[in-house]
A and B are shown apart, each in its own frame.
Chain A
Amino acid sequence: MRLRVQYTAQLRTVVGRTEEEIEFPEGSNLAELLVHLASELRREAAPFLLTAGGELQPSLLVALNHGAVSSCNARAVLVNAGDVVTLLPPIAGG
Protein backbone atom coordinates (compact mmCIF):
# COMPACT_ATOMS: atom_id res chain seq x y z
CA MET A 1 0.00 0.00 0.00
CA ARG A 2 1.06 3.59 -0.47
CA LEU A 3 1.04 6.30 2.16
CA ARG A 4 2.38 9.81 2.49
CA VAL A 5 5.05 10.92 4.96
CA GLN A 6 5.59 14.60 5.74
CA TYR A 7 8.75 15.99 7.31
CA THR A 8 8.79 19.26 9.23
CA ALA A 9 11.30 21.55 10.92
CA GLN A 10 14.80 20.14 11.59
CA LEU A 11 13.84 16.75 10.19
CA ARG A 12 12.93 18.39 6.89
CA THR A 13 16.31 20.12 6.85
CA VAL A 14 18.09 16.81 7.46
CA VAL A 15 15.97 14.72 5.06
CA GLY A 16 16.03 17.42 2.39
CA ARG A 17 12.40 17.10 1.34
CA THR A 18 8.99 18.16 2.56
CA GLU A 19 7.10 14.94 1.88
CA GLU A 20 7.14 11.70 -0.06
CA GLU A 21 4.96 8.74 -0.92
CA ILE A 22 6.23 5.42 0.30
CA GLU A 23 5.28 1.79 -0.23
CA PHE A 24 4.68 -0.13 2.98
CA PRO A 25 3.15 -3.55 3.81
CA GLU A 26 -0.52 -3.64 4.70
CA GLY A 27 -1.36 -4.43 8.32
CA SER A 28 1.69 -2.56 9.64
CA ASN A 29 1.55 -0.33 12.68
CA LEU A 30 2.84 3.20 13.13
CA ALA A 31 5.83 2.11 15.22
CA GLU A 32 6.96 -0.25 12.45
CA LEU A 33 6.71 2.60 9.96
CA LEU A 34 8.87 4.88 12.14
CA VAL A 35 11.52 2.17 12.63
CA HIS A 36 11.51 1.58 8.87
CA LEU A 37 11.95 5.30 8.15
CA ALA A 38 14.83 5.52 10.64
CA SER A 39 16.67 2.84 8.67
CA GLU A 40 15.84 4.24 5.21
CA LEU A 41 16.45 7.96 5.71
CA ARG A 42 19.86 9.62 5.93
CA ARG A 43 21.77 8.59 9.02
CA GLU A 44 21.38 12.06 10.61
CA ALA A 45 17.59 11.64 10.60
CA ALA A 46 17.51 8.49 12.74
CA PRO A 47 18.07 10.18 16.16
CA PHE A 48 14.94 12.26 15.60
CA LEU A 49 12.91 9.04 15.30
CA LEU A 50 14.64 6.60 17.63
CA THR A 51 16.59 6.82 20.88
CA ALA A 52 20.14 5.46 21.09
CA GLY A 53 18.56 2.30 22.55
CA GLY A 54 16.33 1.83 19.50
CA GLU A 55 13.09 2.89 21.21
CA LEU A 56 10.73 5.39 19.57
CA GLN A 57 11.89 8.91 20.38
CA PRO A 58 9.33 10.06 23.01
CA SER A 59 9.70 13.73 22.16
CA LEU A 60 8.99 13.31 18.43
CA LEU A 61 5.48 14.47 17.73
CA VAL A 62 3.84 12.11 15.24
CA ALA A 63 0.50 12.88 13.63
CA LEU A 64 -1.59 10.39 11.70
CA ASN A 65 -4.05 12.18 9.43
CA HIS A 66 -3.56 15.33 11.56
CA GLY A 67 -4.19 13.63 14.90
CA ALA A 68 -1.23 13.22 17.26
CA VAL A 69 -0.30 9.68 18.34
CA SER A 70 1.93 9.33 21.38
CA SER A 71 4.95 7.06 21.10
CA CYS A 72 3.53 4.65 23.67
CA ASN A 73 0.46 4.06 21.47
CA ALA A 74 2.29 3.83 18.15
CA ARG A 75 2.44 0.03 18.24
CA ALA A 76 -1.34 -0.23 18.67
CA VAL A 77 -2.19 2.11 15.77
CA LEU A 78 -2.33 0.58 12.29
CA VAL A 79 -1.47 2.58 9.19
CA ASN A 80 -3.65 2.31 6.10
CA ALA A 81 -3.36 3.08 2.41
CA GLY A 82 -3.64 6.82 1.76
CA ASP A 83 -2.75 7.82 5.31
CA VAL A 84 -0.75 10.97 5.92
CA VAL A 85 1.91 10.66 8.59
CA THR A 86 3.47 13.95 9.75
CA LEU A 87 6.68 13.97 11.75
CA LEU A 88 7.19 17.05 13.91
CA PRO A 89 10.42 17.28 15.87
CA PRO A 90 10.11 19.68 18.83
CA ILE A 91 10.96 23.31 18.08
CA ALA A 92 11.55 26.14 20.55
CA GLY A 93 12.70 29.13 18.49
CA GLY A 94 11.71 32.25 20.38
Chain B
Amino acid sequence: MLPLPELTADERSRYEWQLWVRGFGEEGQRRLKAATVFVSRIGGVGGTVAMQLAAAGVGRLILAHAGDLRLNDLNRQLLMTTDGIGKPRIESAVRRLRELNPYVLVDAIGENVSAANAERLVGSADVVVSAAPLFEERLEMNRQAVRRGVPLVDCAMYELEGRLLTVLPGRTPCLSCLYPEKPPHWKREFPVFGAVASTVGSLAAMEVIKLAAGLGDPPKGRLLNFDLRDLTFTTITVDRRTDCAVCGSR
Protein backbone atom coordinates (compact mmCIF):
# COMPACT_ATOMS: atom_id res chain seq x y z
CA MET B 1 0.00 0.00 0.00
CA LEU B 2 1.20 3.52 -0.79
CA PRO B 3 1.89 5.83 2.15
CA LEU B 4 -1.03 8.16 2.88
CA PRO B 5 -0.69 11.66 1.41
CA GLU B 6 0.06 14.51 3.80
CA LEU B 7 -2.45 17.31 4.38
CA THR B 8 -1.53 20.87 3.55
CA ALA B 9 -2.17 23.66 6.08
CA ASP B 10 -4.98 24.86 3.88
CA GLU B 11 -6.59 21.40 3.87
CA ARG B 12 -6.30 21.16 7.65
CA SER B 13 -8.16 24.41 7.87
CA ARG B 14 -10.80 23.48 5.26
CA TYR B 15 -11.64 20.18 6.96
CA GLU B 16 -11.10 21.41 10.54
CA TRP B 17 -14.65 20.75 11.78
CA GLN B 18 -14.73 17.14 10.52
CA LEU B 19 -11.26 16.44 11.92
CA TRP B 20 -12.99 16.78 15.30
CA VAL B 21 -15.09 13.66 14.59
CA ARG B 22 -14.23 10.81 16.96
CA GLY B 23 -12.43 8.01 15.18
CA PHE B 24 -11.75 10.12 12.06
CA GLY B 25 -9.12 12.80 12.68
CA GLU B 26 -6.10 13.54 10.51
CA GLU B 27 -5.54 9.91 9.56
CA GLY B 28 -9.14 9.56 8.36
CA GLN B 29 -8.77 12.73 6.32
CA ARG B 30 -5.57 11.46 4.74
CA ARG B 31 -7.33 8.21 3.84
CA LEU B 32 -10.10 10.20 2.17
CA LYS B 33 -7.48 12.19 0.26
CA ALA B 34 -5.93 8.93 -0.95
CA ALA B 35 -9.30 7.51 -2.08
CA THR B 36 -10.88 7.32 -5.52
CA VAL B 37 -14.66 7.04 -5.66
CA PHE B 38 -16.68 6.31 -8.76
CA VAL B 39 -20.26 7.63 -8.83
CA SER B 40 -22.59 6.29 -11.51
CA ARG B 41 -24.92 9.18 -12.50
CA ILE B 42 -24.99 12.55 -10.87
CA GLY B 43 -28.71 13.31 -10.81
CA GLY B 44 -30.74 13.95 -7.68
CA VAL B 45 -29.16 11.12 -5.70
CA GLY B 46 -25.67 10.77 -7.21
CA GLY B 47 -25.22 14.54 -7.53
CA THR B 48 -25.68 14.86 -3.78
CA VAL B 49 -23.24 12.00 -3.20
CA ALA B 50 -20.64 13.75 -5.38
CA MET B 51 -21.21 17.08 -3.67
CA GLN B 52 -20.86 15.64 -0.17
CA LEU B 53 -17.75 13.65 -1.12
CA ALA B 54 -16.15 16.70 -2.72
CA ALA B 55 -16.91 18.81 0.35
CA ALA B 56 -15.47 16.12 2.62
CA GLY B 57 -12.24 15.97 0.61
CA VAL B 58 -12.23 12.63 -1.24
CA GLY B 59 -9.07 12.82 -3.34
CA ARG B 60 -10.47 11.80 -6.70
CA LEU B 61 -14.01 11.49 -8.01
CA ILE B 62 -14.91 9.69 -11.20
CA LEU B 63 -18.36 10.70 -12.39
CA ALA B 64 -20.35 9.18 -15.24
CA HIS B 65 -23.54 10.64 -16.63
CA ALA B 66 -24.70 11.11 -20.24
CA GLY B 67 -27.01 13.68 -21.71
CA ASP B 68 -27.98 17.33 -21.52
CA LEU B 69 -29.76 19.11 -18.70
CA ARG B 70 -33.53 19.59 -18.98
CA LEU B 71 -35.69 22.10 -17.16
CA ASN B 72 -37.54 19.35 -15.30
CA ASP B 73 -34.27 18.00 -13.84
CA LEU B 74 -33.83 21.08 -11.72
CA ASN B 75 -36.21 20.19 -8.88
CA ARG B 76 -33.64 17.65 -7.67
CA GLN B 77 -30.31 17.77 -9.51
CA LEU B 78 -28.50 20.16 -7.21
CA LEU B 79 -25.22 20.13 -9.12
CA MET B 80 -27.02 21.76 -12.07
CA THR B 81 -27.95 25.38 -12.66
CA THR B 82 -30.63 26.99 -14.80
CA ASP B 83 -28.12 28.41 -17.27
CA GLY B 84 -26.96 24.83 -17.97
CA ILE B 85 -30.23 23.81 -19.64
CA GLY B 86 -29.51 22.19 -22.99
CA LYS B 87 -25.83 21.66 -22.10
CA PRO B 88 -24.16 18.46 -20.86
CA ARG B 89 -25.00 17.72 -17.22
CA ILE B 90 -21.47 16.52 -16.58
CA GLU B 91 -20.02 19.96 -17.47
CA SER B 92 -22.22 21.72 -14.97
CA ALA B 93 -21.34 19.13 -12.32
CA VAL B 94 -17.60 19.50 -12.82
CA ARG B 95 -17.80 23.29 -12.64
CA ARG B 96 -19.85 23.24 -9.44
CA LEU B 97 -17.62 20.68 -7.76
CA ARG B 98 -14.48 22.65 -8.62
CA GLU B 99 -16.08 25.78 -7.17
CA LEU B 100 -16.92 23.83 -4.04
CA ASN B 101 -13.52 22.21 -3.57
CA PRO B 102 -10.65 22.81 -6.00
CA TYR B 103 -8.48 20.21 -4.22
CA VAL B 104 -10.61 17.33 -5.48
CA LEU B 105 -9.62 15.80 -8.81
CA VAL B 106 -12.73 15.19 -10.91
CA ASP B 107 -12.72 12.81 -13.87
CA ALA B 108 -15.90 13.44 -15.83
CA ILE B 109 -17.25 10.89 -18.26
CA GLY B 110 -20.20 11.90 -20.43
CA GLU B 111 -21.48 8.33 -20.65
CA ASN B 112 -23.71 6.12 -18.56
CA VAL B 113 -22.52 2.80 -17.18
CA SER B 114 -22.74 -0.09 -19.63
CA ALA B 115 -21.15 -3.48 -20.17
CA ALA B 116 -18.59 -1.66 -22.35
CA ASN B 117 -17.21 0.65 -19.65
CA ALA B 118 -18.28 -0.71 -16.24
CA GLU B 119 -15.31 -2.98 -15.61
CA ARG B 120 -12.79 -0.21 -16.30
CA LEU B 121 -14.66 2.41 -14.26
CA VAL B 122 -15.36 0.16 -11.27
CA GLY B 123 -11.83 -1.25 -11.41
CA SER B 124 -10.24 2.18 -11.10
CA ALA B 125 -12.00 3.06 -7.83
CA ASP B 126 -11.67 2.13 -4.14
CA VAL B 127 -15.42 2.49 -3.55
CA VAL B 128 -18.26 2.79 -6.07
CA VAL B 129 -21.71 4.35 -5.79
CA SER B 130 -24.71 3.27 -7.83
CA ALA B 131 -27.33 5.94 -8.40
CA ALA B 132 -28.67 5.31 -11.91
CA PRO B 133 -32.42 5.32 -12.58
CA LEU B 134 -32.23 1.99 -14.42
CA PHE B 135 -31.71 -1.50 -13.03
CA GLU B 136 -29.60 -2.51 -16.06
CA GLU B 137 -26.92 -0.04 -14.91
CA ARG B 138 -27.26 -0.91 -11.21
CA LEU B 139 -26.99 -4.64 -11.84
CA GLU B 140 -23.98 -4.12 -14.12
CA MET B 141 -22.28 -2.00 -11.41
CA ASN B 142 -23.03 -4.74 -8.90
CA ARG B 143 -21.64 -7.45 -11.18
CA GLN B 144 -18.38 -5.58 -11.72
CA ALA B 145 -18.04 -4.53 -8.07
CA VAL B 146 -18.39 -8.14 -6.91
CA ARG B 147 -16.04 -9.34 -9.63
CA ARG B 148 -13.36 -6.80 -8.78
CA GLY B 149 -13.93 -6.96 -5.01
CA VAL B 150 -14.75 -3.24 -4.79
CA PRO B 151 -17.21 -2.10 -2.08
CA LEU B 152 -20.45 -0.76 -3.56
CA VAL B 153 -23.04 1.57 -2.08
CA ASP B 154 -26.37 1.27 -3.90
CA CYS B 155 -28.77 4.13 -3.15
CA ALA B 156 -32.23 4.49 -4.64
CA MET B 157 -35.47 6.34 -4.05
CA TYR B 158 -39.09 6.48 -5.14
CA GLU B 159 -41.54 9.21 -4.15
CA LEU B 160 -40.93 9.77 -0.41
CA GLU B 161 -39.08 6.49 0.15
CA GLY B 162 -35.42 5.61 -0.08
CA ARG B 163 -33.23 2.52 0.16
CA LEU B 164 -29.57 2.01 0.84
CA LEU B 165 -27.53 -1.18 0.50
CA THR B 166 -23.81 -1.51 1.10
CA VAL B 167 -22.24 -4.46 -0.71
CA LEU B 168 -18.94 -5.78 0.62
CA PRO B 169 -18.09 -8.39 -2.02
CA GLY B 170 -17.83 -11.91 -0.66
CA ARG B 171 -18.96 -10.80 2.80
CA THR B 172 -22.46 -9.39 2.42
CA PRO B 173 -25.41 -9.93 0.06
CA CYS B 174 -25.12 -8.20 -3.30
CA LEU B 175 -27.81 -6.39 -5.26
CA SER B 176 -28.53 -9.54 -7.25
CA CYS B 177 -29.16 -11.46 -4.03
CA LEU B 178 -32.05 -9.01 -3.50
CA TYR B 179 -33.16 -8.78 -7.11
CA PRO B 180 -32.07 -11.97 -8.91
CA GLU B 181 -33.81 -10.86 -12.09
CA LYS B 182 -34.12 -7.47 -13.71
CA PRO B 183 -37.27 -6.04 -12.10
CA PRO B 184 -39.93 -5.91 -14.81
CA HIS B 185 -42.07 -3.08 -13.43
CA TRP B 186 -39.61 -0.28 -12.79
CA LYS B 187 -40.38 2.84 -14.83
CA ARG B 188 -37.61 5.20 -15.91
CA GLU B 189 -39.62 8.26 -14.77
CA PHE B 190 -40.60 8.31 -11.12
CA PRO B 191 -42.14 10.74 -8.62
CA VAL B 192 -39.40 12.59 -6.76
CA PHE B 193 -38.75 15.48 -4.42
CA GLY B 194 -35.17 16.71 -4.43
CA ALA B 195 -35.15 16.54 -0.63
CA VAL B 196 -35.79 12.78 -0.71
CA ALA B 197 -33.12 12.19 -3.36
CA SER B 198 -30.67 14.32 -1.34
CA THR B 199 -31.45 12.41 1.85
CA VAL B 200 -30.54 9.04 0.40
CA GLY B 201 -27.58 10.64 -1.41
CA SER B 202 -26.24 12.06 1.86
CA LEU B 203 -26.68 8.72 3.62
CA ALA B 204 -24.77 7.02 0.80
CA ALA B 205 -22.00 9.63 0.95
CA MET B 206 -21.58 8.99 4.66
CA GLU B 207 -21.27 5.25 4.02
CA VAL B 208 -18.58 5.96 1.42
CA ILE B 209 -16.70 8.23 3.83
CA LYS B 210 -16.88 5.51 6.49
CA LEU B 211 -15.59 2.85 4.10
CA ALA B 212 -12.79 5.01 2.70
CA ALA B 213 -11.66 6.34 6.07
CA GLY B 214 -12.21 3.16 8.11
CA LEU B 215 -14.73 4.93 10.33
CA GLY B 216 -17.61 3.24 12.15
CA ASP B 217 -19.23 0.05 10.88
CA PRO B 218 -20.74 -0.54 7.46
CA PRO B 219 -24.20 -2.11 7.60
CA LYS B 220 -23.52 -5.77 6.81
CA GLY B 221 -26.51 -7.55 5.34
CA ARG B 222 -28.88 -4.76 6.34
CA LEU B 223 -30.96 -2.89 3.82
CA LEU B 224 -32.11 0.53 4.99
CA ASN B 225 -35.62 1.42 3.93
CA PHE B 226 -36.93 4.83 4.90
CA ASP B 227 -40.20 6.58 4.37
CA LEU B 228 -40.25 10.36 4.79
CA ARG B 229 -44.06 10.42 4.57
CA ASP B 230 -44.22 9.28 8.18
CA LEU B 231 -40.50 9.60 8.98
CA THR B 232 -39.81 5.91 9.62
CA PHE B 233 -36.38 4.37 9.13
CA THR B 234 -36.29 0.56 9.10
CA THR B 235 -33.50 -1.88 8.40
CA ILE B 236 -34.30 -5.24 6.85
CA THR B 237 -31.86 -8.08 7.28
CA VAL B 238 -30.94 -9.73 4.00
CA ASP B 239 -28.97 -12.91 3.42
CA ARG B 240 -26.65 -13.94 0.63
CA ARG B 241 -28.32 -16.31 -1.78
CA THR B 242 -26.27 -19.43 -2.27
CA ASP B 243 -27.67 -19.56 -5.80
CA CYS B 244 -26.89 -15.89 -6.58
CA ALA B 245 -25.68 -15.67 -10.17
CA VAL B 246 -23.28 -12.86 -9.24
CA CYS B 247 -21.85 -13.60 -5.79
CA GLY B 248 -23.02 -17.16 -5.19
CA SER B 249 -19.72 -18.94 -5.77
CA ARG B 250 -17.47 -16.25 -4.26
User: Which residue in chain A gives the minimum CB-CB distance to B197?
Assistant: A93
Answer whether residue B43 sits at the interface, using C-beta atoms and an 8 A cutoff: yes
For chain A, the bracket of interface size reads 20 to 34
Q: Which of B133, B158, B180, B230 has the most CB of A within 10 A?
A: B158
**Residues of chain A with a CB closer than 8 A to B12's CB:** none
Q: Which B176-198 residues have C-beta < 8 A from chain A?
A: 178-186, 190, 192, 197
Instruction: Count B interface residues, CB 8 Å.
Output: 43
- With A66-B237, A68-B239 in contact, is A94–B156 under 8 Å at CB? yes
**Residues of chain B with a CB closer than 8 A to A70's CB:** 180, 239, 241
**Residues of chain B with a CB closer than 8 A to A92's CB:** 132-135, 138, 156, 183, 186
**Residues of chain B with a CB closer than 8 A to A58's CB:** 179-181
User: What distance in Å separates the Cβ of B161 from its nearest Cβ neighbour in chain A?
Assistant: 6
**A91, B157: Cβ atoms closer than 8 Å:** yes
**Residues of chain A with a CB closer than 8 A to B225's CB:** 8, 86, 88
**Residues of chain B with a CB closer than 8 A to A47's CB:** 184-185
Answer whether residue B111 sits at the interface, using C-beta atoms and an 8 A cutoff: no
**Residues of chain A with a CB closer than 8 A to B237's CB:** 66-68
**Residues of chain B with a CB closer than 8 A to A9's CB:** 158-159, 161
**A94, B133: Cβ atoms closer than 8 Å:** yes
Q: Which A23-78 residues have C-beta < 8 A from chain B?
A: 47-48, 58-59, 61, 63, 66-68, 70, 72
**A86, B157: Cβ atoms closer than 8 Å:** no
Answer whether residue B41 sits at the interface, using C-beta atoms and an 8 A cutoff: yes
**A86, B236: Cβ atoms closer than 8 Å:** yes
User: Which residue in chain A gives the minimum CB-CB distance to B161?
Assistant: A9
User: What distance in Å separates the Cβ of A44 from its nearest Cβ neighbour in chain B?
Assistant: 10
Answer whether residue A82 sits at the interface, using C-beta atoms and an 8 A cutoff: no
User: Which residue in chain A gives the minimum CB-CB distance to B41?
Assistant: A94
**B133, A93: Cβ atoms closer than 8 Å:** yes
User: What distance in Å separates the Cβ of A83 from its nearest Cβ neighbour in chain B?
Assistant: 14
Please tell me which one of the listed residues A18, A48, A66, A93 contacts residue B158 in the complex, with CB atoms under 8 A apart.
Answer: A93
Smallest CB-CB A-B distances: 4 pairs? A90-B183, A91-B158, A59-B183, A94-B131
Q: List 16 A-B contacts (CB under 8 A).
A: A13-B159, A59-B180, A59-B184, A61-B179, A61-B223, A66-B234, A66-B237, A67-B237, A86-B225, A86-B234, A91-B158, A92-B133, A92-B156, A92-B183, A93-B192, A93-B197
